[in-house]
Structure 1
Amino acid sequence: MIAIMTVTGADRTGIIAQVTTALAELNVNIVDVSQTLMSGYFTMILRVELLDSETSIQKIQERMKPVEEETQQVIRIQSEDLFTAMNEI
């Protein structure tokens, strides 16, 4: 399954490292990534592939809760199909 993850919040050191380490622990492959900084505000969008049938979007979101708290970011993940449907006109 392909999913889209967004990470947003004030910039600080280690955001990318903490997010990608947590994904690697869950055997989630990063297919594509875009990241930008604007006036001290960090935004990252990741297109990820869930390789392990035991890994679900819910499990990833739960694993990201401590990362959200530590990095003071908002992290959301949803299936690519849902993301596309919600962002098309």
Structure 2
Amino acid sequence: MKCVISVLGKDRTGIVAAVSTALGDCGANINDISQTILGEMFSMTMLVTLDEAVADFNTVHDRLAETAEQLGVQITLQREDVFQYMYKI
């Protein structure tokens, strides 16, 4: 299952590492990643593929929520088809 992840918050060391580690622990593959820093604001968008045999959507969602709390950032996980539908013109 392909998913879109967005991360937003105050820039600090270790955000990419922590999110990548959480995803790796869940068996997810990062297909594409884009990040930027605007002043002190960190923004990252990832396209990932979940391995549902290792961790289903809800498990990954919960793990990312824990990571977000530890980092003090906002992390949103959406199924790619839902994301595409939401932004279809």
With normalisation by structure 1, the TM-score equals: 0.93
Q: Calculate the aligned-residue CA RMSD, in Å.
A: 1.1
Q: What whole-Å deviation, never above 9, does each CA across 1:24-69 have from its counterpart, x for those lacking one?
A: 0000000000000011111100100012334222111101122111
1:9-48 alignment runs, 5 A limit: 9-48=9-48
Q: How many residues align?
A: 89
Q: State the alpha-carbon separation in 2 of the partners of residues 55 and 11 from structure 1.
A: 28
Unaligned runs of 5+ in 2: none
Once the two structures are superposed, what CA deviation does each residue of 1:10-34 show, in whole Å capped at 9, x if it has no partner? 1011000000000000000000000
Unaligned 5+ runs, structure 1 = none
Is contact 2:27-2:54 (8 Å) kept? no
> Whole-Å Cα distance in 2 between the matches of residues 88 and 43 of structure 1?
22
Q: Distance in 1 between matches of 2:63 and 2:70?
A: 12
Q: Give the TM-score normalised by the residue count of structure 2.
A: 0.93
